């Protein structure tokens, strides 16, 4: 859902939304909060309620996040300039992903910077995986991790890779970024673009390199991530399956990447 520019302040604060047939009210407190200069160009959360106040019969609520890029003070209140949707707005959703949720690292971590230790990342991933398995079972936990990786791959392509002009450019950009961000060292072992069939390896993988041998592969998130990248680049669906993993005794993670048959 997008927002038109110039929401009015004062007693009748409203944003017009292209997706709605009428204007929806914005709480006064949000205006007072949003006009603080420190909040310019940062997400501001707003709870909207169509059909009156939250307790009104038939009222429906949703959470929106907006960016206010400018403010003008007028005689009747504030006018917001360049208000735009962050992409996180969706009825009934609290945690919809948007690239903006990665935050302003320079502003937020001026001393520590963008890096952290691999152990911290793995601590989060594997404790989360443990709880998901306890709550939903192994198969469902793997499905959730694959879907999360799929979404991440699509968002990474859209926000980080730019617009590769061909397969070689796509691979080159991806290799460079994965290495620069210490995610892993990507290599293409086999490639048949006509058939849409590839074998890729990721060494020094962020998810698993150095882990104990378990007898089974664990890079489900990586499978989804690669599938999301390939779908975004080609416009076609891909099936990705890890065929070798550090945890099965190999020193690199190897993935079979195949265009899905229609």
74, pLDDT greater than 80: no
pLDDT class of 26 with cuts at 50, 70, 90: very low
Rounded Cα gap, residues 242 and 223, in angstroms: 7
Domains of the chain: 14-108 (no CATH), 119-259 (3.30.1380.20)
What pLDDT shows up at residue 20? 31
Q: Is a pLDDT exceeding 80 seen at residue 43?
A: no
pLDDT bin (cut points 50, 70, 90) of residue 81 is low
Percent share of the chain, pLDDT over 90: 60
pLDDT tens column, 231-258: 999 999 999 999 999 999 999 999 999 9
């Amino acid at each position: 859902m997008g927002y038109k520019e110039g929401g009015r302040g004062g007693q009748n604060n409203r944003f017009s939304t292209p997706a709605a047939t009428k204007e929806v009210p914005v709480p006064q407190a949000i205006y007072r909060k949003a006009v603080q200069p420190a909040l310019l160009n940062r997400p501001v959360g707003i709870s909207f309620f169509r059909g009156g106040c939250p307790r009104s019969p038939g009222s429906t609520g949703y959470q929106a996040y907006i960016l206010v890029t400018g403010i003008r003070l007028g005689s009747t209140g504030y006018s917001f300039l360049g208000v735009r949707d962050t992409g996180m707005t969706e009825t009934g959703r609290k945690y919809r992903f948007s690239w903006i949720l990665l935050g302003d690292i320079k502003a937020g971590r001026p001393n520590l910077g963008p890096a952290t230790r691999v152990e911290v990342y793995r601590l989060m991933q594997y404790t989360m995986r443990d709880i998901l398995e306890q709550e939903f079972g192994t198969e469902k936990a793997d499905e959730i991790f694959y879907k999360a990786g799929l979404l991440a791959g699509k968002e990474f392509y859209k926000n980080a890779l730019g617009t590769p002009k061909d397969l070689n450019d796509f691979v080159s950009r991806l290799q460079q970024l994965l290495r620069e961000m210490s995610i892993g060292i990507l290599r293409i072992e086999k490639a048949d673009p006509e058939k849409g069939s590839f074998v890729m390896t990721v060494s020094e993988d962020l998810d698993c390199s150095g882990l104990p041998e378990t007898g089974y592969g664990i890079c489900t998130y990586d499978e989804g991530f690669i599938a999301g990248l390939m779908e975004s680049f080609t416009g076609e669906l891909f099936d990705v399956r890890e065929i070798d993993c550090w945890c099965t005794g190999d020193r690199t993670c190897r993935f079979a990447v195949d265009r899905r048959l229609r």
